[in-house]
Amino acid sequence: MSPDDLLLAHADLRDRLFAAKLLIPSGVDGLYGRSAIFESVLQGVDAAAYALGLADEPTVMWFPPMIPRTTFEAVDYLRNFPQLCGPVFTFTGDNKAHSELVRRLDEHEDYSSSLELSEVALTPACCYPVYPSLAGQLGEDEGIYSTMGYCFRHEPSVDPMRLQAFRQREHVRVGTPDQVLDWREVWVDRIPKLLESIGLEFRSDFANDPFFGRAGRLMSMSQREQQLKIEWLVPVFGEEDPTACVSANYHQNHFGELFGITTPDAAEAHSGCVGFGLERCAVALFAAHGTDVAQWPDSVTKVIWP
């Protein structure tokens, strides 16, 4: 599909979701409200993705959609993905500075220099807050976690598969390299079963994150070569331009080293995560089965609303 045709296909699907009142426009690309039905589909996908990991008896963690700026900086987000980041700014000035801020507002001038970095940033991936919480030595019965929450990535797009604010269900494994890789293999079996059960077409492939710039190209190549990231791609807009709806990642000792996490045997911990893009799965379902859930196949609704 040519870039122009792809853009039309993106806009067409988004307009259909707006017309069916499944997504609620806000005036900003990628920032939408959700209807009760959309949310119910999303929660059904999340429940199924969560249930798929229950056999591992994960420790469940919930976090707000923000992380400390110290974590945001430690995980190198600004270095690797500055184009996507969302540090939170606020006002810390005095009355004089406030008057200047208000003057700039009234004059429709840029007021960013009136604001200061706060101590928080919007969460780019919902597994990020898990790792710093594990600093220290893991107990024998620790190492498997499940979390879900909102993430922010600054990539405004008319493509309804690419939102600025979206949720992920993430399963996390922290332990020895063998434990993490064996765990990932289990998920490589589980993920296709879930996608098949909800009637989505897909293929899997090794992939890389969108590292920024020239240095980033090397990191992308190395991530692919080492097969650290596997994605399950759903062809919502055709086989040539599929969208990743699920990924399984091996971080090696990146977070273990960064946050001082050790295994019960006192070795540096390795980690991996499996992330389901929940809005992406929901939008893919509406694209595949139509915007009227009453018309969806029973085999699919049985999984979403068991």
Out of 52, 84, 121, 127, which residue is the one contacting Zn ion (CB under 5 A)? 127
Q: Is 162 or 173 the residue whose CB approaches Zn ion more closely?
A: 173
Could you say which residues in the range 96-125 bind Zn ion, by CB under 5 A?
125
The reply to whether 174 sits near Zn ion by the rule CB under 5 A is no
Out of 45, 130, 273, 287, which residue is the one contacting Zn ion (CB under 5 A)? 273
Would you say how long the chain is, in residues? 306
Nearest-approach distance from CB 184 to Zn ion, in angstroms = 12
* Distance, CA of 191 to CA of 90 (rounded, Å): 41
Q: Which of 189, 170, 204, 188 is nearest to 274 (CA)?
A: 170
Q: Is 127 or 174 the residue whose CB approaches Zn ion more closely?
A: 127
Nearest-approach distance from CB 165 to Zn ion, in angstroms = 17
**Using CB under 5 A, which of the segments 62-70, 137-145, 212-220, 267-275 binds Zn ion?**
267-275
Number of residues that bind Zn ion (CB under 5 A): 5
Q: Is 10 or 169 the residue whose CB approaches Zn ion more closely?
A: 169
- 283 neighbors 13 (Cβ within 8 angstroms): yes
Q: Is 67 or 287 the residue whose CB approaches Zn ion more closely?
A: 67
The reply to whether 61 sits near Zn ion by the rule CB under 5 A is no
Q: Is 9 or 207 the residue whose CB approaches Zn ion more closely?
A: 207
Nearest-approach distance from CB 272 to Zn ion, in angstroms = 8
Task: Return the beta strands (E) in the chain as ranges.
Answer: 23-24, 33-34, 59-61, 66-68, 87-90, 116-122, 136-137, 144-152, 165-175, 203-206, 229-234, 243-252, 261-262, 270-277
CA distances from 78 to 88, 89, 221, 254 (A): 13, 15, 19, 16
Nearest-approach distance from CB 127 to Zn ion, in angstroms = 3
Q: Site map for Zn ion, 143-172, x if CB under 5 A?
A: ---------------------------x--
The reply to whether 130 sits near Zn ion by the rule CB under 5 A is no
**Using CB under 5 A, which of the segments 89-97, 127-135, 216-224, 238-246 binds Zn ion?**
127-135
Q: Is 14 or 229 the residue whose CB approaches Zn ion more closely?
A: 229
Question: DSSP secondary-structure letter at 115?
Answer: -
Residues 6+ apart with CB under 8 A from 239: none
* Distance, CA of 192 to CA of 232 (rounded, Å): 8
The reply to whether 41 sits near Zn ion by the rule CB under 5 A is no
The reply to whether 304 sits near Zn ion by the rule CB under 5 A is no
Q: Is 41 or 273 the residue whose CB approaches Zn ion more closely?
A: 273
Q: Please, what is the end-to-end C-alpha distance for the chain in angstroms? A: 37
Continuous segment of H or E residues that includes residue 156: none
- 169 neighbors 146 (Cβ within 8 angstroms): yes
Q: Which of 48, 80, 32, 97 is nearest to 219 (CA)?
A: 80
The reply to whether 274 sits near Zn ion by the rule CB under 5 A is no
- 129 neighbors 63 (Cβ within 8 angstroms): yes
What is the contact surface with Zn ion in residues (CB under 5 A)?
A: 125, 127, 170, 273, 275
